[in-house]
Amino acid sequence: MADGWGEVFHRNRLVPPSGQTVRLAVENHLTASHGFQLSLSRITAAHLPQDLSAEEDLTYQLRMTLFDRKLQHFFGKTWKSSPQKMKNSKIPFNEVLYLHTSLLLPSTLVVVELVSLSPKPDGSHLALGRGFTILELFTNRPEGPSTDGDRRLNLHHGSPRGLLHPSLKDSVDCKDNLSTVYL
């Protein structure tokens, strides 16, 4: 019975968007099916410690979650990449992610977090955030999001949970208040 409980829990970890977000999208006719393809090749991680002799089993993982900037609310299900080892200050991911949303609001963001995973004696992993970045899906700015080709993303110090801080609630571009990790 214990295994069935765990499976049900993991299948139902989806956090729905706020009712206010859905209502706003419907009122402004900003609901339609829209899909995205994100191709993630590698992370250059010169800011991470390179002496891994004590941590031979250390791996890295990308995690992505949708975030409503206006309401400061994470929603959806967090996607996790397969764990990868660092080689010569680079972490190769070579992942293609497809995501879908019907909420076409400028406040909808994708938050990408880099996490290090170190094994614990019980077989589980200790996850430690190493930085994060934000991707705007829909923007009112004239330059708009990059839709094709290569794009370099800078990681910001800290945890994406910092986006929940009250000082970021009314900011137009929360990236202005974040400290960048220089890669």
Between the alpha carbon of residue 76 and those of residues 16, 68, 97, 142, 156, the distances in Å are 6, 11, 14, 28, 22
Tens digits of per-residue pLDDT, 37-54? 888 888 887 667 655 544
pLDDT higher than 60, residue 136: yes
Contact status, residue 90 vs residue 42, Cβ threshold 8 Å: yes
Threshold 0.75, pTM exceeds:
no
**170: helix, strand or coil:** coil
d(CA 1, CA 128): 32
Q: What is the mean pLDDT of the chain?
A: 74
Torsion angle of alpha carbons 120, 7, 83, 157, nearest 10°?
A: -80
Instruction: Name the nearest CA neighbour of 61 among 157, 125, 110, 10.
Output: 125
Structural domains of the chain, ranges and CATH numbers in brackets: 12-177 (2.60.40)
pLDDT higher than 70, residue 171: no
Tens digits of per-residue pLDDT, 109-134? 899 999 999 999 998 899 999 889 99
Sign of the alpha-carbon dihedral angle for 104, 164, 39, 14 = negative
pLDDT higher than 80, residue 77: yes
